[in-house]
Amino acid sequence: MSTVNSNTALNAYRNTGIESIVNTAAPHQLVLLLFNGARAAVAEARGHMNRKEINAKGNAISKAISIIDGGLKASLDLKVGGELALNLSELYVYMTRRLFEANLKNDAVALDEVAQLLEQLGGAWEMIAAKAVDSVAARQAPAKQSALEPQAARPYAAAPAADPVPATRDAGASPSLSARVAAAYGVR
């Protein structure tokens, strides 16, 4: 198999793999995929910048901008997410502007700033997504019951597990930060 054909096959495999992940991913996982893609693109741009590979750097920065603007920012639900969603939207505009500056001026500091912001936001989102996955798993796990213990004696066994990303901290409290961030992205 020639190098061109093997590269084509490898790209087709990657695209199919990504497509199948996207088609089966939960909403929390999709947002996490966007963060991971943006972080990878910025890191790739930094490597190209260090090696003075101008075209490749520009392509990687363009990819990061596309993910941030067309993915993360576009997925915000400004109606449901309120002020938090608006603040995140403005932060994504700022990040996009810094990436443009990084590309035009070969500014490593601007790239590093965006990388740090993506790391902080993506890290927070990883925790939110993990809680959501744990919550779904807890609700779907069948309750274990001893053969000697009748179901009626264990009324708590039928109750769903508590959601680790609760909508509120307590009665009348404002939504938790996790719930507000998830809502900002239109994820319930």
CATH classification at residue 78 = 1.20.120.340
Q: What is the pLDDT of residue 136?
A: 64
**Enclosing domain of residue 171:** 17-137+161-184
Does residue 10 belong to any structural domain of this protein?
no
Cβ atoms within 10 Å of 10's Cβ, excluding its own: 10
How many structural domains comprise the chain?
A: 1
Does residue 52 belong to any structural domain of this protein?
yes
Per-residue pLDDT of the chain (188 residues; tens, 9 = 90+): 444 555 555 455 555 555 656 566 677 888 888 999 999 999 999 999 999 999 999 999 999 999 999 999 999 999 999 999 999 999 999 999 999 999 999 999 999 999 999 999 999 888 887 887 676 666 666 655 444 444 444 333 333 333 333 333 334 445 677 777 777 887 76
Does residue 149 belong to any structural domain of this protein?
no
Q: What is the pLDDT of residue 182?
A: 78
What's the pTM? 0.68
Does residue 31 belong to any structural domain of this protein?
yes
Structure tokens at 90: 């403005």
Does residue 23 belong to any structural domain of this protein?
yes
Q: How far apart are CA 188 and CA 75, in angstroms?
A: 13
The three state secondary structure string of 134-149 is HHHHHHHCCCCCCCCC
Amino acid at 87: N
Does residue 1 belong to any structural domain of this protein?
no
Does residue 174 belong to any structural domain of this protein?
yes
Does residue 155 belong to any structural domain of this protein?
no
